[in-house]
């Protein structure tokens, strides 16, 4: 969430920044915030003045009674009662204005970093790096949805029977491969200094608002209506919310956490190969890394997180590329995001497997996440997160890129985790 003071001080700059997101009504949205803030300040000034007057009058009543001036005391009491009633109305109005201001701020996305390119959609994202060679497959090579049937390692039909489309059942070596990847990613993150946590996979509404999933992605989240809880779309939500309403001791910074969770997304399905098999699921497993940093260190941390994700893909021997997301494809809360895509040889297409983002103070302002600097002043921190990594498309690429006429080779780095080297 943007800070009102920064909106007032940087209105024109913010309008230009939001134009990168193709937000044509940016000026009107910012003006609404400024107008509501002015109204809030004026109402608060009137309320404060009236409260001061009421307190002053209340102090007079006792003295007047002692002096025997009952009639005057009764007049002061009546005026105090009027002020009390008026102040109740002003207080209610203040709560109403603040709620409108909060909602107006919720409707404004983060300001893109100056390095974010302009663009309308993912077609305008900018490739900044590519690594690895595309594998040459044998004649008759298959896409992963056929390979998993041949080797009976993932069953979509059973998932449909139990739940519905997008909820596969992993079996035998498929389940072992899934677990091996989770443990590999967790071990690598631990080596890189991330402390492991195992958070809840359902969150309350306050947590959804704090990290920006609400109200922006409400339709994409599974909602448990009776309890007003949400299944998490990513471990970023519960892990970052560990620090909601927290003033972090400066000596504890930076905060670095890793967590493995299932993730749930009600993304609208569509037809075609881009959503077939493991390409898009409603439930999937993911290892997430989260950092909380001082503002001056956050972009160096973003680079470090990107290097960590790149190292995982290189150890898995998967060809990948890195994209800098354009304004039209940038997440609502992000200031800058890099996507990692692996090349799926049988499908002959790139598959997104990780997003690494810096939210700057946007989430921290919602979270009220701060630290006290050398001057004992509370300063908002920067939050960052990254997929390290999402499993379904990684598995799809491993199966497709490593197949031969007789089976599938498992990347060397996973052998000690799987207990087998081939499927």
The binding site consists of 234, 265-267, 288, 352-355, 385
- CB 217 within 8 Å of CB 232: no
- CB 144 within 8 Å of CB 399: yes
Alpha helices in 316-423 (DSSP H): 362-367, 391-401, 415-418
Q: Counting Cβ atoms within 10 Å, is residue 317 exposed (0-12), middle (13-18) or buried (19+)?
A: middle
**Binding-site residue positions for L-serine:** 234, 265, 288, 385
Give 169's strand partners. Answer: 155
DSSP letter (8 states) at residue 63: H
* Pairing mode of beta strands 320-324, 126-131: antiparallel
Residue 178: closest CA among 75, 286, 18: 286
**Binding-site residue positions for ATP:** 265-267, 352-355
Give Cα separations from 377 to 149, 247, 250, 373 (angstroms): 60, 11, 12, 6
Instruction: Tell me the C-alpha distance between 261 and 284, whole Å.
Output: 9
Alpha helices in 272-377 (DSSP H): 298-315, 362-367
Using the structure block, give the residue that is written with the tokens 């009662």: 81
DSSP letter (8 states) at residue 273: G
């Amino acid at each position: 969430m943007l800070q009102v003071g920064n909106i007032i001080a940087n209105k024109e700059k913010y309008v230009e920044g939001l134009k990168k997101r193709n937000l044509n009504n940016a000026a009107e949205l910012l003006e609404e915030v400024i107008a509501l803030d002015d109204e809030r300040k004026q109402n608060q000034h009137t309320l404060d003045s009236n409260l001061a007057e009421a307190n002053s009058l209340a102090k007079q009543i006792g003295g007047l009674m002692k002096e025997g001036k009952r009639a005057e005391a009764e007049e002061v009491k009546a005026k105090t009662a009027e002020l009390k009633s008026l102040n109740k109305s002003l207080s209610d109005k203040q709560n109403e204005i603040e709620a409108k201001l909060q909602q107006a701020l919720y409707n404004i996305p983060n300001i893109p970093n100056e390095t974010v390119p302009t663009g309308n959609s993912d077609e305008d994202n900018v490739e900044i790096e590519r690594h690895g060679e595309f594998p040459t497959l044998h004649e008759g090579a298959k896409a992963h949805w056929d390979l998993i049937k041949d080797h009976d390692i993932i069953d979509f039909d059973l998932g449909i029977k139990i739940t519905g489309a997008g909820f596969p059942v992993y079996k035998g070596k498929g389940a072992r491969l899934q677990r091996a990847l989770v443990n590999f990613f967790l071990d690598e993150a631990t080596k890189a200094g991330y402390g492991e946590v195992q958070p809840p996979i359902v969150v309350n509404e306050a947590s959804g608002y704090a990290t920006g999933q609400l109200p922006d992605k409400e339709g994409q989240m599974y909602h448990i209506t009776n309890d007003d809880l949400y299944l998490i779309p990513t471990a970023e939500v519960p892990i970052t919310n560990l620090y909601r309403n927290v003033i972090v001791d400066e000596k504890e910074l930076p905060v670095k956490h890793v967590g493995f969770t299932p993730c749930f997304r009600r993304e609208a399905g569509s037809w075609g190969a881009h959503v077939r098999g493991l390409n898009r699921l409603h439930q999937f497993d993911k290892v997430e890394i989260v950092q909380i940093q001082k503002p001056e260190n956050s972009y160096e941390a973003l680079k470090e997180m990107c290097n960590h994700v790149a190292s995982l893909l290189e150890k898995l021997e998967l060809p990948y590329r890195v994209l800098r997301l354009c304004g039209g494809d940038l997440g609502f809360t992000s200031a800058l995001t890099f996507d990692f895509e692996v090349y799926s040889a049988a499908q002959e297409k790139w598959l997104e497997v990780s997003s690494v983002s810096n939210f700057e103070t946007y989430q921290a302002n919602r979270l009220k996440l701060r630290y006290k600097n050398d001057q004992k002043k509370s300063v908002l921190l920067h939050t960052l997160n990254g997929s390290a990594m999402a499993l379904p498309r990684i598995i799809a690429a491993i199966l497709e890129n490593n197949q031969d006429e007789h089976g599938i080779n498992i990347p060397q780095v996973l052998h000690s985790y799987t207990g087998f080297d081939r499927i």
